[in-house]
Structure 1
Amino acid sequence: MAAVNLGRTGRKSPAASAVPFAPGALVPGATAAARSGREHVQEPTRYDAILLAGFGGPEGQDDVIPFLRNVTRGRGIPDERLEEVAHHYRHYDGVSPINAQNRALRAALEERLTARGVNLPVYWGNRNWEPYMGDAVRAAYDDGHRRLLAIATSAYSSYSSCRQYREDFADALVDTGVGDEIQIDKVRQFFDHPGFVTPFSDGVREALNDLRVQLSDLDVAREVEVLFTTHSIPSTDAAASGPAERDLGPEGAYGAQHRAVAEAVMAAQTGARPEWQLVYQSRSGPPSMPWLEPDINDVIRTLPERGIRAVLIVPIGFVSDHMEVLWDLDNEAAETAREAGIVCVRVPTPGVQADYVDGLVDLTLERINGTAVTDRAAVTQLGPWYDVCRPGCCENTRLGFKPALAGIAP
């Protein structure tokens, strides 16, 4: 299947004030099967194309500040402040690895779709850098496609990892002027699909074996700590993540989902199992705003006093080795471990591993075939998650609800 060439608009779509509803629909911009707002769509749907939705990243020094302006749009942060947080991009010549990773993922996804008999083109659009989401929607429309199934490169529920993508779909439909003709559905959050979890389970197993070889006298159960890490988010956003009617604890669906995945990964291990905990990284908010804790570096500094000789970092919050992994883990966290005098090993992210890519095809086929909930793969008790986001799901408590697709308003 040939890759799709996207035009470059050089612009992020402005925020939409409203999106079109079909008569009688509860879900805006949705296909006929999803308009009623049922939690799981168990009716076959014919799609024309896949919309692979990425975060985006700069691809040169001149791109860094414009990219960060897009990321922080609406927050009024001056360029001087943005430059203070641009140093990790500058370290890599202004090039984020995320776009190259998404190009590779698109190619791998196209290959596996074709191999499994799914003849759908894959269009790739980003939230914050070229090719923008509007580029992808416009290209799909120009090629005659009207029903798109979106796959966001984020596995969990929160404003930044789910709803903000859904808002960008709405912005793109309105900005391109095709909102009355194109429908966009979105596959469920795939945090506990085996295609996403298995690469981490395998990675932990291999890393523990490597540590046993590296430190022949190592007591794995007593002297190794496994740190499952993910992006920190504001505590208020975490509490609002997931549907309001589900009591998932003070960290909402975001925290509950990550803990459930960590438990599944550890349950898949054999032999002596080390202690583990969920930690957070990459905080970017002001000190006055509470964010999820503990920070991974703070935790690593405490490990030697407990007799820990090796730390195993598992980036379960990330689908690829992008900047938050390369800089925040492979540089900063690794340096903290060296200063603490302990061995540090980091498990790879799924990237384009076969299990992960096949898992994305599985999610696509769920919606094409209208797979029954009881036949859907999930390795935790929380899933399979919703096909259609519930009312009030993942509110941004500072900005309120904006128009979004693939869910019941607000």
Structure 2
Amino acid sequence: MPDSRTLTDPAPYDALLLLSFGGPEGPEDVVPFLENVTRGRGIPKERLAEVGKHYFLFGGVSPINEQNRELLAALREDFSGHGLDLPVYWGNRNWAPYLVDTLREMASDGHRRIAVLATSAYAGYSGCRQYRENLADALATLAEEGLPELRVDKLRHFYNHPGFVQPMIDATLAALAELPTAVRDRAHLAFTTHSIPEAMAETSGAPQDPARGRPGGAYVAQHLDVARLIAAAVEEATGVADRPWELVYQSRSGAPHVPWLEPDICDHLESLHTAGVPAAVMVPIGFVSDHMEVKYDLDTEAVAKAAELGLPVARAATVGADARFAAAVRELLLERAAVERGLPVERRALGGLGPSHDVCAVACCPNPRAPRRAAAEI
């Protein structure tokens, strides 16, 4: 069975779409951007301005668009360096370049079969199905405009691909090296990801228990698998056995009465301090790049909490445009292309969960507000 690293033929695909969240690129963009993100929820503009204070602290600019430009360049460089003549486009869910505009451009350029990389590594409504819903909406718009029919296939979840995990291992070791030598070997690891409602976490992913007849539990299970991989690699590299670690959460945005995944990173740091832990490393395994939720919730809020407690902390870098991640995207694309041609191929994955599915089940990661909303069947 061929290894995905040896594949070279992208057929049937004639283009790759990098699909991301989007973010404001100036103060005047902040409220319109947040209106896009919260559309249909009836949130007053005054409240959005208050929520937008995180962006205003950074000049109204989210780092995510520039980081996607860097990833776009890394993908094009990797493709070119490996003789893969496949154009790479970029579209966003909530800000320019908008997804529908990019798909319109791709159709006009003659592309018809498109592979899609969403910049979210894990199963879940916001990280997977919502992107599929956005694709369905955009494709419907293009059909109404009379443009040629496009087929889009979203590449599988990449949370446990070596090209995503290995850079995070290196980043964790680099962050540990930033701590004072006296506390380095006793530092705890706090693996962080976006908190989501418990009900949403419960229904995330493909069905895992046929007796239940419904999906569930993939969001947390996948993060825990990645955390174990990194913790084991760090133990091997440092020689420090049984270093304590925990999966914690950040960036909660829901109503107080709705249960969300916990503990919050700031609460966790306080617990570590109370328990006499001398230092901690925050490892944002839930995020592909150092966007606003990393820069504010970790680098600003969590670092301020640690300083208040007198707890030394370091923050591991995200994968970003690491060349190994760009290579992983190429592998995932060529792997899926081989599958579409009916060829056997090794699907690389680390940890205990194995490679993710290619095509999402109909009941996968249901929309909590509109269960019947159409999603692209990809």
Q: Report the secondary structure of 1:125's partner residue.
A: strand
CA offset at residue 391 of structure 1? 2.0
Tell me the equivalent position of 1:232: 195
Which runs of structure 2 are paired with 1:5-404 in the superposition (5 Å)? 45-177=11-143, 181-211=149-179, 214-215=180-181, 217-218=182-183, 220=185, 223-246=186-209, 252-269=217-234, 270=236, 271-273=239-241, 274-370=243-339, 375-404=346-375
Q: How far apart in 1 are the matches of 2:278 and 2:147?
A: 56
Amino acid at match of 1:198: Q
User: Which SS does the other structure have where 1:56 is aligned?
Assistant: coil
Distance 1:56 1:218 in 2: 38
Say whether the 8 Å CA contact 1:173–1:179 is kept in structure 2: no
Partner of 1:308, secondary structure, is coil
Report the AA paired with residue 72 of structure 1: T
C-alpha separation between the residues in 2 aligned to 1:400 and 1:179?
Answer: 28
Q: Separation in 2 of the partners of 1:225 and 1:373?
A: 42
- Cα displacement string for residues 280-300 of structure 1 (whole angstroms, at most 9, x for unaligned residues): 000001101111111000010
Q: Which runs of 5+ in 1 are unaligned?
A: 1-42
* 1:222-253: CA deviation from partner (whole Å, max 9, x where unpaired): x3110000001111111110013448999711
* SS of residue in 2 equivalent to 1:264: helix
| Distance verdict in 2 for CA 1:266–1:373, change over 3 Å | farther
Look up the equivalent residue of 1:230 and give its one-letter code. Answer: T
- Aligned 8 A contact 2:215 2:365 in 1: no
In the alignment, the residues of structure 1 paired with residue 147 and residue 177 of structure 2 have an alpha-carbon distance, to the nearest angstrom, of 52
Aligned Cα RMSD in Å? 2.0
Shift of 1:78: 1.1
Residue by residue, what CA displacement relative to the aligned partner does 1:40-75 show, whole Å, maximum 9, x if unpaired? xxx984111101101000111111111001111111
Equivalences, count: 360
Determine the C-alpha separation between the residues in 2 that align with 1:275 and 1:179.
55
Q: What percentage of aligned pairs have identical amino acids?
A: 51
Say if 2:226 and 2:351, in contact at 8 Å, map to a contact too: yes
CA offset digits 1:256-294 (Å, max 9, x no partner): 000000001111122104200000000001101111111
Matching residue's letter, 2:316: V
Q: Distance in 2 between matches of 1:171 and 1:290?
A: 30
Match of 2:4 in 1: none
SS in structure 2 of the partner of residue 294 of structure 1: coil
Q: 1:232 to 1:199 in 2, by over 3 A?
A: same
C-alpha distance in 1, partners of 2:133/2:165? Answer: 27
Q: Answer 1 or 2: which has greater helix percent.
A: 2
The 8 Å contact of residues 158 and 237 in structure 1, kept in 2 or not, is answered as yes
> In structure 2, how many angstroms separate the alpha carbons of the residues matched to 1:406 and 1:243?
14
State the AA in 1 paired with 2:372.
Answer: F
